[in-house]
Structure 1
Amino acid sequence: MAKSKFIEYIDDALEKSKETALSHLFFTYQGVPYPVTMCTSETFQALDTFEARSDDIVLASYPKCGSNWILHIVSELIFAISKKKYEYSEFPVLECGDAEKYQRMKQFPSPRILTTHLHYDKLPASIFKNKAKILVLFRNPKDTAASFFYFHNNVPDIPSYASWDEFFRQFMKGQVSWGSYFDFAISWNKHLDDENVKFILYEDLKEDLGAGVQQIADFFGFSLTGEKIQTISAQSTFQTMQEKSQETHGTVGPFLFRKGEVGDWKNLFSESQNQEMDEKFKECLAGTSLGEKLKYKSYC
């Protein structure tokens, strides 16, 4: 599917969103809410039987933490090694699409890129059995919430929230697509030091993209010159991605790559919301390996 298939899927989801009220946007599967416009319970059932390969590239993140950015970087790394443009013959989010997609994916050449917003324990068992490498991208929860809100309320066809305050309440309760940021974080926290898992922080990528691209290349075993890494970094800045977003992601592109700033949450959070998030962070992640890695004090 060159990118057109990618755009086709997004356009289809947006079309479904037009007729969907916010109150009917979610269905719950195994305790987590998912958007009815992108996921089905049949797909989740079929996902259990998905056969991962040891050279699959798994990119895990909570929504609005930079998954499209990291997908672009990895596609560019594959292109640099193989000289073949990575083809998205299916929408790359593993849990999105129809239940037959996993059969079709058996025909895809390696390496396959699988992006996902699933909790660690919701991934198909074959990913762990076959020791596929998993890159987990995290972003501070305040900017994640702000970005999620703007995405919901700016994209014309997606059901909107009446206000930031309403969205914040739902976000803190985990009543948004793919559920609670904190539940997602807790599920991954226990596995960040697993041999086949690599943690990367959105804010670190913003600060030094070249170093981040090098780490990603090293983790997946892509051997590239420093010059090539710099070229890929230059093609992968947020600004470059933003400029090409319409071409790569269709009408939704400019909304997917809106600002990408660190600290944008300060324009939305009230003092009490700030305290509520700080308390939640402390309760869920204080003293954990992930809590340290998120550099919460610096960014929140």
Structure 2
Amino acid sequence: MATATERYNKLLHQSPRYTVNGLWYPGSAERHEKIREFPIRSDDITVACYPKSGTHWVERILHFVTSDEDLDNVKHYPSIPMEVSPPNLPKTSLDLLEESPSPRVISTHLPFELCPREIQEGKSKIILVIRNPKDVAVSHFYFHKKIKSIGSFTDFAWQDFFEVFFSPDTLPYGSWFSHTKKWLQHRNDPNLLLVKFEDLKTDLTNGVSRIAEFLGRPVSGNRAAAIAAKCQFDNMKKEGESEDREVDNIGISVFMRKGQVGDWKSHFTVAQNEMFDEVYQREMGDTDLAIQFET
């Protein structure tokens, strides 16, 4: 009988993929060459993170922070990582970015070395979002069951996906551990701000203020609190469900489930948790990255 990893790989062959140094990424070699040379504007803001770490949440904050409009009039748009182009859209994500007014919010799950050359050279601001990998694994599991473009994972049980999550050359973008460690090498770059998902959950108003200050667009305490209220998870999900109906179900609610810290505890067995902790300590013990795994 095929292992969970073998079954996963078989399903992934149904979607376009491109391999770099043994890891696979969405798209093609041609597309990734375009990404490397994609022109970056000085006021671009790049949201970089491993999949299922809070991309759309931070993007929504950025839409408010970068707008001078009344908060009720701020427009939002469903974002797609620059390396991904769903087949049901008439234009690629790069085409859409080229047509977007400044300041643009660019999202990507790529490692630093595969990002556009001008991003690597420090031309734009980068928000690096990190979420605890136990909740990332659970969120990843449910996301796979929703998105049919990468195969049907309806018969995958949590135990199956737990096995896949630990296979470093199987998941798109590689393992959470290697992806995160590569980005952490740039945590002290002056154009990069590290934002932790769990810190936003603890004090979203402070998180909004911190992001706005980093972008050189400080907001008052009252506006930061108002933005935080708009960006509460339940509010975003409710608004997203309405937006999705208008854009053929391509929208933020597809990417949002619970947004909780510690949801992994309702999925991990004791043995799985012990195994995960052992791997985490081995892989991340020397990074001094303080991660909050539960409330």
Q: Deviations over 1:108-142 (max 9, x none)?
A: 43211101111111111111325311011111000
Q: CA deviation at 1:52?
A: 1.1
Q: CA deviation at 1:151?
A: 1.5
- Please name the residue that 1:4 is paired with: none
CA distance in 2, matches of 1:276, 1:28: 30
- Please name the residue that 2:24 is paired with: 33
What is the TM-score normalised by the length of structure 2? Answer: 0.83
Residues 1:187 and 1:225: Cα distance change in structure 2 (over 3 Å): same
Residues 1:25 and 1:170: Cα distance change in structure 2 (over 3 Å): farther
Q: Deviations over 1:125-176 (max 9, x none)?
A: 1113253110111110000000110121245665215211111111111322
- Please name the residue that 1:75 is paired with: 63
CA distance in 1, matches of 2:101, 2:286: 42
Query: 1:59–1:134: 8 Å Cα contact kept in structure 2?
Result: yes
CA distance in 2, matches of 1:81, 1:216: 18
Q: Among residues 115, 124, 138, which one is paired with 2:130 in the alignment? A: 138
Q: CA deviation at 1:272?
A: 2.2
Query: 1:140–1:299: 8 Å Cα contact kept in structure 2?
Result: no
Residues 1:150 and 1:104: Cα distance change in structure 2 (over 3 Å): closer
- Please name the residue that 1:12 is paired with: none
Q: Deviations over 1:33-89 (max 9, x none)?
A: 234xxx33321121111111221101111111110111111011122369884575x
Residue 214 of structure 1 pairs with residue 209 of structure 2: yes
CA distance in 1, matches of 2:277, 2:239: 36
- Give the root-mean-square deviation of aligned CA atoms: 2.7
Greater helix fraction, Structure 1 or Structure 2: 1
Query: 2:83–2:93: 8 Å Cα contact kept in structure 1?
Result: no
CA distance in 2, matches of 1:234, 1:87: 16
Query: 1:26–1:33: 8 Å Cα contact kept in structure 2?
Result: no
Residues 1:235 and 1:91: Cα distance change in structure 2 (over 3 Å): closer
What is the TM-score normalised by the length of structure 1? Answer: 0.81
Amino acid at match of 1:78: T
Q: Deviations over 1:181-226 (max 9, x none)?
A: 1111111111111111110110111111101111111111112221
The percentage of counterpart residues that share the same residue type is: 31
Query: 2:50–2:176: 8 Å Cα contact kept in structure 1?
Result: yes
- Please name the residue that 1:159 is paired with: 152
**After alignment, is 270-279 or 141-150 more displaced?**
270-279
Q: CA deviation at 1:100?
A: 6.7
Query: 1:56–1:112: 8 Å Cα contact kept in structure 2?
Result: yes
CA distance in 2, matches of 1:104, 1:213: 26
Residues 1:190 and 1:141: Cα distance change in structure 2 (over 3 Å): same
Query: 1:56–1:114: 8 Å Cα contact kept in structure 2?
Result: yes
CA distance in 1, matches of 2:93, 2:129: 25
Amino acid at match of 1:56: D
Q: CA deviation at 1:105?
A: 3.9
CA distance in 1, matches of 2:285, 2:93: 39
- Please name the residue that 2:106 is paired with: 114
Q: CA deviation at 1:277?
A: 1.4
Query: 1:27–1:33: 8 Å Cα contact kept in structure 2?
Result: yes
Residues 1:260 and 1:133: Cα distance change in structure 2 (over 3 Å): same
- Please name the residue that 1:5 is paired with: none
Q: For residue 198 of structure 1, give the secondary structure of its aligned residue in structure 2.
A: strand
CA distance in 2, matches of 1:115, 1:254: 17
Amino acid at match of 1:172: F
Residue 263 of structure 1 pairs with residue 262 of structure 2: yes
CA distance in 2, matches of 1:80, 1:266: 41
CA distance in 1, matches of 2:118, 2:146: 38
CA distance in 1, matches of 2:61, 2:124: 18
**After alignment, is 25-34 or 42-51 more displaced?**
25-34
Residues 1:81 and 1:190: Cα distance change in structure 2 (over 3 Å): farther
